[in-house]
Structure 1
Amino acid sequence: MDDPRPACLVRAEHDDPRVVGAVRRYVAELDARFPGGFAVVEADLVDPGGHYLLALDDERVLGVGGVRALPGTDGAPSAEVKRMWVDPAARGTGLGRLLLAALEELAVDLGHRRVLLDTNLVLGEAVALYERAGYDRVERYNDNPYAQAFFAKDLTGQAGTWPKRPLWKSW
C-alpha cells in the first residue's frame, strides 16, 4: 500500500458489513496475539447500541472503532471505546491517533464527558497510544476477562473545541 492514510472517516451502523468485517479481523488478530487466544461469541462481536467509525481508503477498510454509553461510576456521562483496530498496513501513520480523537469527538457529540477503555498488555502499541493521548490508568471498571489495563480520559471542557466539521466528515 503506497499511502495507508484513509481517504475518509465515516460513521456506520453496527450491522454494516464493513464494521462487522473489520471487527472480525480485529478479533482474529487478538486470537493470534493473546497467549491463550481470544474468543468472542457472534452476538458480542459488535454492540447494537454502539456508534461506529470506519477509516476508509476508497472502499478498503483501514480501521474501525466504536463508542457506547457506559454508566458513569462517578455520575459523569461516560462512553467506552470498543473494538478499536487499525489494519497492520496502516499502523505507524497516525491513523490510530486520528481514529481515537474522532471517537472522543463522537463521544462528546453524544453527550458524554468522560471516556473509558480497556486493553490487554500484549497490545503494547495500544497502551502507548492511550498514554500519549492523555488517558490515565484507572481501576478495573468491568469484568472483561482479557482486559489487564484500564484507562479513562476526562472530556469535560472539550465540547465545542473540536473543528466545526467533525473529523469523520472532514476528510
Structure 2
Amino acid sequence: MTDDHPSDVRIASADPDSDAVRACFLRYFRELDDVLAVGFDPAKSTSADGDELRPPRGIALIVWDGAAPVGCGAVKFGGETAEIKRMWLDPAVRGRGLSRRLLTALETHARESGARSVLLDTNDALTSAVGLYRGAGYVAVAPYNDNAYATHWFSKTL
C-alpha cells in the first residue's frame, strides 16, 4: 500500500527481512534501550519476526521520506484480532502527523485482513505513543501478553 498524501513522504509495505525494515527496527530497539529504565533486549520482548510479519500472517510497513526509511510499523494478523507491533518514527520527522498516518495505515491493513479489533502494547516511557493511541480511540485492556517491557495494553474496535 502506498500512501496518497501529496508529499515526499509515503507509507509502503516492505519485506520484513529487507534492509529498510531491519534498519528501522534496529534504530527503534536502540531508542528503546536508551529510554527504558531497564534497557531493551529484543530477545526478551514478544516476538515479531519475519515470518509473522509477512503475508498472509502479517505485514510490515515503512515510512519513506524521499529515499530514506524514517519509520516502521507492523501488524500480526490473527483472525478477528490483529496486533500492531514495532511502530516507530525517526525523531527528525516526529511532529508532522506521520504517527497518525502510520497508525491509520496499520489499522487499514488489519481491517482488510478480516480483523474486527486491534491490540497493542507500549511502555510508560513512550509518552507520545500512549497519547497517540488514546487520541486514536484505543482503550486500556488487561494484559494480553507477557511482554516484559509493556506497562500499557490497548485495544480498538475497527
Corresponding residue number in structure 2 for 1:146: 149
Corresponding residue number in structure 1 for 2:138: 135
Structure 2 unaligned runs (5+)?
A: 1-6, 54-58
Give the ranges of 4+ consecutive aligned residues of structure 1 lying more than 3 Å apart after TM superposition. Answer: 44-47
Aligned with 2:25 (options 20, 23, 36): 23
Corresponding residue number in structure 2 for 1:160: none
- Structure 1 residues 27 and 6: alpha-carbon distance in aligned structure 2, compared to 1, 3 A threshold: farther
In percent, how many aligned pairs have the same letter? 42
For this pair of structures, how many residues does the alignment match? 145
Q: Letter of the aligned partner of 1:29 in structure 2?
A: E
Higher relative CO (Cα under 8 Å, sequence separation at least 6) belongs to 1
- Structure 1 residues 20 and 95: alpha-carbon distance in aligned structure 2, compared to 1, 3 A threshold: same
Structure 1 unaligned runs (5+)?
A: 72-76, 156-171
Contact 2:60 2:74 in 1 (8 A): yes
Question: What is the CA deviation profile of residues 75-114 of structure 1, one whole-angstrom value per residue up to 9, with x for unaligned ones?
Answer: xx11100000011001111000000000000101111111
Question: What is the CA deviation profile of residues 33-91 of structure 1, one whole-angstrom value per residue up to 9, with x for unaligned ones?
Answer: 011100013xx5634221111110121111100000247xxxxx111000000110011
Q: Which moved more, 1:45-54 or 1:139-148?
A: 45-54
Larger-Rg structure: 1
RMSD: 1.7
Corresponding residue number in structure 2 for 1:123: 126
Structure-2-length-normalised TM-score: 0.87
Corresponding residue number in structure 2 for 1:168: none
* Shift in Å, 1:6: 5.0
Corresponding residue number in structure 2 for 1:54: 62
Contact 1:54 1:61 in 2 (8 A): yes
1:39 aligns with 2:41: yes
- Structure 1 residues 21 and 118: alpha-carbon distance in aligned structure 2, compared to 1, 3 A threshold: same
